[in-house]
Amino acid sequence: MPVPDVEREAQYHRAMMAVIKNTSFEKSADVDPLGVAKKLLEWRDALIMAGWDARPLFETGSKVSVLAKIEKGFNYYCPIKLYD
């Protein structure tokens, strides 16, 4: 059974807040944390659909690296296997 978008966004928000400090998203998240979580979740989903395996692609401070850190704490039902 699919997880409702609002529940996924809440779960992603919790995972994001655990790693957002000292990232390029921190100031935006201070102003609108739920909006930032929703946008990052959209980016995350688009990357997954494009074949991203939830690993950092570039240097540690890149946006994709931040998404990879968030992914480690994001727990929800996912029909796509992300890790071996």
Each of the 84 residues of the chain gets a pLDDT tens digit; together they read 566 788 889 999 999 999 999 999 999 999 999 999 999 999 998 998 898 888 887 766 688 899 999 998 886 545 454 554
pLDDT of residue 62: 83
Please say whether the beta carbons of 69 and 4 come within 8 A: no
pLDDT of residue 7: 86
Please say whether the beta carbons of 16 and 36 come within 8 A: yes
CA gyration radius, the chain: 12
- CA distances to 4, 9, 12, 76 from 69, in Å: 23, 16, 11, 15
Tokens of residue 68, six digits: 């990879």
